[in-house]
Amino acid sequence: MEGKSMMDTNAHPDRYSLNKNLAEMVKGGVIMDVTTPEQARIAEEAGAVAVMALERVPADIRKHGGVARMSDPKIIKAIKQAVSIPVMAKCRIGHFVEAQILEAIGVDFIDESEVLTPADEFCHIDKKKFKVPFVCGARDLGEALRRIAEGAAMIRTKGEAGTGNVVEAVRHIRTINAQIRKLQNMPREELITAAKEMGAPYELVLYVAEHGRLPVVNFAAGGVATPADAALLMQLGCDGVFVGSGIFKSENPEKRARAIVKAVAHYDDPEVLAEVSEDLGEPMPGLELERLESRYAERGW
């Protein structure tokens, strides 16, 4: 049987396939940030496909300032107790000990997240050493493929978390899509040059050129505040959506959560989208990007 992951140089060969496939199972779903067991139950009841257990949502991390770290394991365990859907939790970029702790308490997925203050400016976590799956943020194809090379089982756009402004998430998915299309049209001899230029492993570049998609599931994240935002990112080709502050910082979290879940499942049906967008109360307050003190998306490389 498999030993504790930190002792192994690499987890069991079946592991990566199992972890990529857990990400496949949450496709078409909404993953919601929650800070209490009560919120987790509201999210599950509203149709969340998984929850992200946190001490503070990104909007509050922004307000609070200072160093943002992994949440108290006690909070994560209480949230795990409260729901039957998968529970994710965030660790800092490069902080492999926070990741070891999250694995030890049995979370279903770790988000190595730029929303927390990075612990290492040179290295991301060697995710292949772990048994638990990881999701990582990316702004472009090279960044996505570097994270996959490190062992990420799922990718999400970085967007700009805690702003309620979808513009960066749109920029990131459009960038990735455009880069994929470009690779698909390249003659084979140019792909090695493309790999060199985007700083990504050649084998992964080849895979993308041949299949026209990333080898793992790609969700949208960072700034989703309305059902229309979520459907926009789905129509742009994302496999599902993370909603951070957008739900529990809005006037009516329960109703908005339900609406966003429906919007993701029916993303290509404007009649359903019109129906679910009605009478949701105030969304979370939005922030213009020019006025931000720090851009989370610029963290990591």
Partner 1 sequence: MKVGVLAFQGAVREHINMLKMAGAQPVPVKKEEELNDVDALILPGGESTVIGKFLRETGLGKIIVEKAKNGMPIWGTCAGMILLAKKIVNEDYVHLGLMDIWVRRNAYGSQLDSFIVRKPVPAVSPKPLELVFIRAPYAEKALPGVEVLLELDGKIVAARQNNLLATAFHPEVTDDPSFHKFFLEMIPSSK
- In the complex with partner 1, the residue whose CB is nearer, 97 or 105, is 105
Using the rule CB under 8 A, give the single segment among 70-78, 162-170, 257-265, 293-301 that binds partner 1: 257-265
Q: Considering only residues 8, 55, 60, 108, which one is a binding residue for partner 1 as defined by CB under 8 A?
A: 108
Q: What is the dihedral of CA 224, 264, 26, 162, to 10 degrees?
A: 10
In the list 63, 65, 67, 84, the residue contacting partner 1 (rule: CB under 8 A) is 84
First to last CA, the chain: 35
Catalytic residue (choose from 20, 74, 80, 90): 90
Q: Is 271 exposed, middle or buried (0-12, 13-18, 19+ CB in 10 A)?
A: exposed
d(CA 34, CA 40): 6
φ, ψ for residue 31 (rounded to 5)? -105, 125
Active-site residue 262, yes or no? Answer: no
> For residue 97, what are its two tokens?
């000990």
Among 24, 121, 197, 210, contact with partner 1 (rule: CB under 8 A): 24
Can residue 21 be called a binding residue for partner 1 (CB under 8 A)?
yes
Could you tell me if 146 and 200 are in contact, meaning their C-beta atoms sit under 8 angstroms apart? Answer: yes
Quick check: 37 binds partner 1 (CB under 8 A)? no
Q: Which residues here bind partner 1, judged by CB under 8 A?
A: 14, 17-19, 21-22, 24-29, 44, 47-50, 84-86, 103, 106-109, 131-133, 261-262, 265-266
List the catalytic residues.
90
Task: Specify binding-site residues.
Answer: 33, 162, 174, 223, 244-245
